[in-house]
Amino acid sequence: MDSAWFPPVSMIYAHKPKFPARIYASERHKIAVCLSEFTPSTYLDRFIAKSILSWAQEQKCSLVITPAGVPILEHSPERPEKLFLQGVGTTELTRQKLNEAKIHLLEFGAVPGISGALLNEGRWNNFDVIALLVEAYHEIPDARAAAVIVEAIDKLLPQIQLDVSPLYNEAARIESRLKTAREQAKQVEAPMPPGLYG
């Protein structure tokens, strides 16, 4: 996927250049994944959502699932072991799928960005779109939030089986490093004894 408004960058994997926004598809599993290695400017969100939905309709896809991170601050207190996942569906069928997968339905709230635009476009076009929402760190990679989303997708798509243990292992490593960094920062931020600098 490319656009004049995307950053002019090439991602190199296994000696080969790749666009920073790509689609991976499996004909056998009847599934496609849209991936972006950059955060698009917000003014592009509606255009990207319309393009994704249009492509999905052209390919005769029956469902679009979009992840949405609910931002939490990096310095928030320890997160609960089990992150709270919520879902929003554009049609009765998608809400039924969420119920069957035991995913809590969001009753009130706002879903911004590409996910929000996909929900609006899906509802307008009577197309099945599900947004999965989970608390996620905004400025750093959040493997645990990603694992929760992947687990939910696994429940919603019975034709695939996904192993999320590598994501949980990566989450444990990242959270351990964050905890160490926080403790080191607290030591540096400790108040100086009064009168030391006069």
* 10 assigned to some structural domain: no
* 44 assigned to some structural domain: no
- What is the token pair recorded at 184? 């080191």
* 42 assigned to some structural domain: no
Q: Residue 189: its pLDDT value, please?
A: 52
* 50 assigned to some structural domain: no
Q: Residue 196: its pLDDT value, please?
A: 45
Which residue type occupies 68?
A
Q: Give every CB contact of residue 73 below 8 A, 6+ residues apart in sequence.
A: 138
Q: Residue 97: its pLDDT value, please?
A: 96
* 127 assigned to some structural domain: yes
- What is the full per-residue pLDDT of the chain (198 aa) written as tens digits? 899 999 999 999 999 999 999 999 988 888 999 989 888 899 999 999 999 999 999 999 999 999 998 877 655 556 666 788 999 999 999 999 999 999 999 999 999 999 999 999 999 999 999 999 998 877 667 778 888 898 999 899 988 887 777 777 776 776 667 667 666 666 655 555 555 444
The closest alpha carbon to 57, from 154, 122, 131, belongs to: 122
**Residue 77 lies in domain:** 63-188
- If one counts the domains in the chain, the total is 1
Q: Residue 137: its pLDDT value, please?
A: 75
Q: Residue 74: its pLDDT value, please?
A: 57
* 17 assigned to some structural domain: no
Q: Residue 128: its pLDDT value, please?
A: 98
Query: Cα 73 from chain centroid?
Result: 16
DSSP alpha helices (H): ranges in the chain?
45-58, 92-100, 113-124, 143-156, 165-189
Q: Residue 121: its pLDDT value, please?
A: 96
Query: Residue 96's domain is classified under what CATH number?
Result: 3.40.50.10900
Contact yes or no for 88/130 (Cβ under 8 A):
yes
Contact yes or no for 38/29 (Cβ under 8 A):
no
pTM: 0.81
Between strands 104-105 and 85-89, the pairing is parallel
Between strands 129-137 and 64-72, the pairing is parallel
